[in-house]
Amino acid sequence: MRCFVTGGAGFIGSHLVDELLEKGYKVTVFDDLSSGRKEFIQHHLNNKNFSFIEADLLDFNLLNREIKEHDVVFHIAANPDVRIGMQKPEVAKKDILITYNVLDAMRENNIKKIVFSSSSTVYGETPPIPLPENYGPLLPISVYGAAKLACEGLISSFSHTFDMQSWIFRFANVIGKRGTHGVIVDFINKLKKNSKELEILGNGKQKKNYLYIKDCIDGIVFGFENSKEQINLFNLGSHDATEVTRIAEMVVEEMGLKKVRFKYTGGDRGWKGDIPRFQFDITKIEKLGWKPKYDSDEAVRKAIKDLIEELGSVSL
Ligand code: NAD
């Protein structure tokens, strides 16, 4: 199978590339390195089954040429920063446009399968706990979530109109090695600068589901290989949820720090568009035969260890 991976030099994309190559597939990565890093795919550069194109998906002519002869597109590229929508709502426009380009290039080149990285943010404000895939109406409260929902709509409509097959995974918070953003990276970096005090956005009671990166990749590949509907939609997360203050405590413990003062910025959420509490119902993918290896707290602990090793501990 020849796989085209947009965003394959990013956190999730590069782990997916590792797994696809491990399974013996051919992989082309198309990534502009806007938030991805070449070092995440460096170890594959001499592999004859691997090629890398550094370019922006807005360049339709190039995309249309390079996507030829592939069997499936894993469309992982997007600006992953939910918070940035407050200052730069135009990132949503770009993420919708690049998804349109990917689908249109697939249509022109008769490529019939797309796997998409969506998000829990499509569900909007205070969804029920646990949250099943058929919850609605879907009214996102962040521009990031709105862009993801728009992309899901485009994928669904192209699937029906041009006889494509799609797999849409709504991820929880994915964490682990090569993570470049999110609450754990934020806490480690802040504590490296000041090991006495940690600023925590909101009141620390935000409670969300975290999924370890290996479980995420495993779930994507399992869902793709084992579900055969025209549109296959799954929540991809783990069991239960972890409070932000608990994450801060675990980071402090793992960094070997003591007497760190937590300073809360206040309010029930970290930023406008943040959903303070969510927990997925993952029965649908479990019924298919997949379950995560790590629950939310275990995923957080494992990711903290990975990231401390990568980012380095405090320089006291
Ligand atoms: P990431 O920033 O590490 O990966 C995104 C990749 O896309 C980067 O390598 C970036 O350079 C590339 N990219 C962005 N715009 C591009 C463009 N116009 N042309 C070419 N390449 C482009 O982020 P991630 O955390 O690995 O997220 C991967 C996907 O999963 C994203 O779609 C994100 O929205 C989604 N997602 C992530 C999480 C999470 O917790 N990390 C949760 C839900 C959904």
CATH of the domain at 192: 3.90.25.10
The reply to whether 27 and 159 lie within a common domain is yes
What is the tens place of the pLDDT at every residue in 254-302?
999 999 999 999 999 988 889 999 999 999 999 999 999 999 999 999 9
**Judgement on whether residues 258 and 129 belong to the same structural domain of the protein:** no
Residue nearest to atom 30 of ligand 1 (CA): 117
pLDDT digit string (tens) for 26-36? 999 999 999 99
Q: Would you say the CB of residue 102 lies under 6 angstroms from ligand 1?
A: no
- Say whether both 136 and 99 belong to one domain: yes
Residue 43 placed within a domain: yes
Ligand 1 binding pocket includes 33 (Cβ within 6 Å):
yes
226: left (phi over 0), alpha (psi -120 to 50) or beta: alpha
Q: What is the mean pLDDT of residues 191-215?
A: 96
Residues 6+ apart with CB under 8 A from 193: none
pLDDT in tens, 42-101: 999 999 999 999 999 999 999 999 999 999 999 999 999 888 888 999 999 999 999 999
Question: pLDDT digit string (tens) for 133-190?
Answer: 999 999 999 999 999 999 999 999 999 999 999 999 999 999 999 999 999 999 999 9
Reference 200, options 110, 270, 111, 108; nearest CA is 270
Of 31, 143, 181, 306, the one to substitute when testing ligand 1's pocket (max ligand atoms within 8 A of C-beta) is: 31
pLDDT of residue 244: 97
The answer to whether the CB of 6 falls within 8 A of the CB of 102 is: yes
Q: Has residue 313 got a pLDDT over 90?
A: no
Residue 204's region, left for phi above 0, alpha for psi from -120 to 50, else beta, is left
Average pLDDT over residues 101-114: 98
pLDDT higher than 80, residue 314:
no
Q: Which of 11, 186, 211 maximizes ligand 1 atoms within 8 Å of its Cβ, making it the mutation to test the pocket?
A: 11
Cα 259 to Cα 108, 190, 196, 233, 262, distances in angstroms: 60, 15, 7, 45, 9
Q: What is the dihedral of CA 137, 141, 146, 148, to 10 degrees?
A: -90
Measured in whole angstroms, how far is the alpha carbon of residue 23 from the centre of its chain? 21
Q: Is the pTM of this model over 0.85?
A: yes
User: What local confidence, expressed as pLDDT, does residue 86 receive?
Assistant: 87
- Locate tokens 């099943």: which residue? 132
Please indicate, yes or no, whether residues 111 and 218 belong to a single structural domain of this protein.
yes
Task: Give the domain range for residue 302.
Answer: 177-209+240-282+291-311
pLDDT in tens, 205-259: 999 999 999 999 999 999 999 999 999 999 999 989 999 999 999 999 999 999 9
Count structural domains, the chain: 2
Q: CA 28, 30, 32 angle in degrees (round to 5)?
A: 155
87 and 36 assigned to the same domain? yes
What gap in Å lies between CA 137 and CA 141, rounded to an integer?
A: 12
Same-domain status, 48 and 145: yes
Identify whether 316 is part of a domain: no
- Which residues are catalytic, by number? 144
User: 113 and 68: one domain?
Assistant: yes
